[in-house]
Amino acid sequence: MKTDNSNVLRLRKLGIDTHTENIIFMRSNCQVCRSEGFTANTRVAVNRGPDSIIATLNVITSDLIDEDEAVLSEVAFNKLHAAEGDLVMVTHMKPILSFSEVRAKMFGNKFNAPAIDQIINDISHGLYSKIEIAAFVTVCSGDNLALDEVIYLTRAMINSGSTLSWNEKLVIDKHCVGGLPGNRTTPIVVPIVAAAGLIIPKTSSRAITSPAGTADVIEIMTPVTLSLEQIREVVRQEGGCMVWGGAVKLSPVDDLIIAVEKALDVDSAGQMIASVLSKKAAAGSTHTIIDIPVGLTAKVRTKEEAFLLEYYFRAVGLAIGMEVEVMITDGTQPVGRGIGPALEALDVLSVLRNEAHAPADLKERAVQLAGLMLEKGEAAEKGKGVERARAILESGQALEKFYRICQAQGGFKEPEVAHLQHDVLAAVSGVVRSVDNRKLAKVAKLAGAPKSPGAGILFKAPVGSTVKQGEPLFTIYSESEGEISYALSYLHSSNHIVELVSP
């Protein structure tokens, strides 16, 4: 191909954030567009020294930029390590050979291991456009992946990122499958398990569509953005950590795939299993406990679904040398009282501190999970795990370990909730029959969570409780009057967040 100066443009910065998408803006009449025949939406290679990315072309027909200039989206600037004024060479991209495997899968072929390796490798190098990732997600959706394909996918995802390893025979981890509001067992389970002497290098994610992710909640109390080296040091010192997984690229492809899955609102069991287990394996875990909440408002709706997931989790674990145990839990209503980073952190601390008003449901879940982990990790006899976990929690050992882990990660601070509060009152007296978790989450988000970490909801009317007319159902926390009124105007247009019936 042509590599003379006619393909060279000078970079300008206009501060355009396209999330993870590489976009290049070029003049329609620049010499590159004309000589290469590039038009809007062409996928092109942008080369700067040894660095190269694939970007989608947006064409500028005004004089916003000069003919010898190009603008990159912010993420593309970062990936190229480029600055304004740098010269880049823009050329045709080479065809992505691995996409023919995705096409073959559309026609009913099965993936083999080299095919999946190459696809994941190409996605991790940014070669796939969003629509190509959408096609890959689609052919992997539903029950379109057989067990062996899920195993290949898991292995490919492990190999695509960084890994941690520990000189320990037994490294344990946990994961909860999908979104029950307030289900923050991690910051309780990690200190219990670590206090019992086990190794638990826990990574968590931030909120994508919810009012708080586990990493967001922990960040209220301690820094979670640690390097691999810092994680090693914290775990070496304390036996456990509670960090944000996104900072250490244990499974970089996952972010790209999940972004498309969220946009399509598609949950693929095979993708999910590969995503979870690859991150656990990359973090060096030998044993993993999977919490599957089952309920009509949870991700998994029936026990049958949960049993099938259990089979896949265990079989894939076996293939990659990891022991996986599944715990099927109640997913019919939210856990604890807080919704939003600081409010959920307060629930966690009240459990760790054995306060009288601590949410019993959150404590019980944490103790059950930790108990199973202690048994798996041979830190408790079979059948004695829960008892041991409860003892560690109630004796204050868990709280002490929690503080030590926080100190190792950079220090502990108390959660601070937003300074504006607004009670939403019961219009009539009655017994709570149901709670719409999605609408409740939406109110918390409109109030500012998770961007305003102190914002959210303190929920006071769990299913089965009796409320009197004029008593608060929940309290909205927010940093601004505008957000409160915004949340209220949504509330007024939306009925039945809390359904009351005569006692």
Site residues (CB under 8 A) for a copy of itself, limited to 257-316? 259-260, 263-266
In the bound state with a copy of itself, the residue whose beta carbon lies nearer, of 54 and 226, is 54
Residue 97 within binding range of a copy of itself, rule CB under 8 A: no
Applying CB under 8 A, which of residues 83, 97, 131, 428 lies at the interface with a copy of itself? Answer: 131
Give the H/E segment covering residue 281: helix 269-282
In the bound state with a copy of itself, the residue whose beta carbon lies nearer, of 13 and 419, is 13
Closest to 22 (Cα-Cα) out of 75, 82, 90: 75
The amino acid present at 413, given as its one-letter code, is K
Applying CB under 8 A, which of residues 10, 21, 148, 225 lies at the interface with a copy of itself? Answer: 21
Nearest approach, Cβ of residue 16 and a copy of itself (Å): 6
Is residue 143 classed as helix, strand or coil in its secondary structure? coil
Nearest approach, Cβ of residue 3 and a copy of itself (Å): 10
Applying CB under 8 A, which of residues 10, 130, 249, 314 lies at the interface with a copy of itself? Answer: 130
- Asked whether 61 and 21 are in contact (CB, 8 A), the reply is no
Token duo for residue 168: 């320990």
Cα 212 to Cα 220: distance, rounded to the nearest angstrom: 11
The amino acid present at 346, given as its one-letter code, is L
Nearest approach, Cβ of residue 55 and a copy of itself (Å): 13
Residue 452 within binding range of a copy of itself, rule CB under 8 A: no
Q: Helix 437-446 crosses helix 481-492 at what angle (to 10 degrees)?
A: 150
Q: What is the DSSP letter of 109?
A: P
Contact partners, residue 482, CB within 8 Å, separation at least 6: none
Stretch that binds a copy of itself, among 12-20, 165-173, 228-236, 297-305 (CB under 8 A): 12-20
- Is 267 assigned a catalytic role? yes
Closest to 393 (Cα-Cα) out of 170, 181, 194, 180: 194
Contact partners, residue 386, CB within 8 Å, separation at least 6: 367, 368, 370, 371, 372
Applying CB under 8 A, which of residues 17, 357, 464, 495 lies at the interface with a copy of itself? Answer: 17
Residue 489 within binding range of a copy of itself, rule CB under 8 A: yes
Residue 229 CB coordination number (10 Å): 9
In the bound state with a copy of itself, the residue whose beta carbon lies nearer, of 208 and 428, is 208
Q: Which of 86, 148, 255, 267 is catalytic?
A: 267
Strands across the sheet containing 338-339: 338-339, 456-459, 472-478, 420-425
Cα 352 to Cα 477: distance, rounded to the nearest angstrom: 23
In the bound state with a copy of itself, the residue whose beta carbon lies nearer, of 50 and 95, is 95
Contact string 209-248 vs a copy of itself (x = CB under 8 A): ----------------------------------------
Applying CB under 8 A, which of residues 5, 50, 62, 382 lies at the interface with a copy of itself? Answer: 62
Nearest approach, Cβ of residue 482 and a copy of itself (Å): 7
Nearest approach, Cβ of residue 208 and a copy of itself (Å): 11
Residue 68 within binding range of a copy of itself, rule CB under 8 A: no
Residue 396 within binding range of a copy of itself, rule CB under 8 A: no
Strands across the sheet containing 172-176: 172-176, 287-294, 323-330
Site residues (CB under 8 A) for a copy of itself, limited to 39-58? 39-41, 43, 58
- Asked whether 458 and 475 are in contact (CB, 8 A), the reply is yes
Applying CB under 8 A, which of residues 25, 38, 77, 402 lies at the interface with a copy of itself? Answer: 25
Is residue 120 classed as helix, strand or coil in its secondary structure? helix
Residue 434 within binding range of a copy of itself, rule CB under 8 A: no
Site residues (CB under 8 A) for a copy of itself, limited to 312-371? none
Residue 482 within binding range of a copy of itself, rule CB under 8 A: yes
Cα 272 to Cα 251: distance, rounded to the nearest angstrom: 12
Cα 123 to Cα 139: distance, rounded to the nearest angstrom: 15
Give the H/E segment covering residue 408: helix 397-409
Token duo for residue 324: 């996986």
Nearest approach, Cβ of residue 376 and a copy of itself (Å): 33
Nearest approach, Cβ of residue 11 and a copy of itself (Å): 14
Residue 91 within binding range of a copy of itself, rule CB under 8 A: no
Q: In which region does residue 220 sit, left (phi positive, over 0), alpha (psi from -120 to 50) or beta (all else)?
A: alpha
Just list the catalytic residues.
267
Footprint of a copy of itself on this chain (CB under 8 A)?
1-2, 13-21, 23, 25, 28, 35, 37, 39-41, 43, 58-62, 64, 73-74, 99, 103, 106-108, 129-135, 137-139, 141-144, 259-260, 263-266, 445-446, 451, 482-483, 486, 489-490, 493
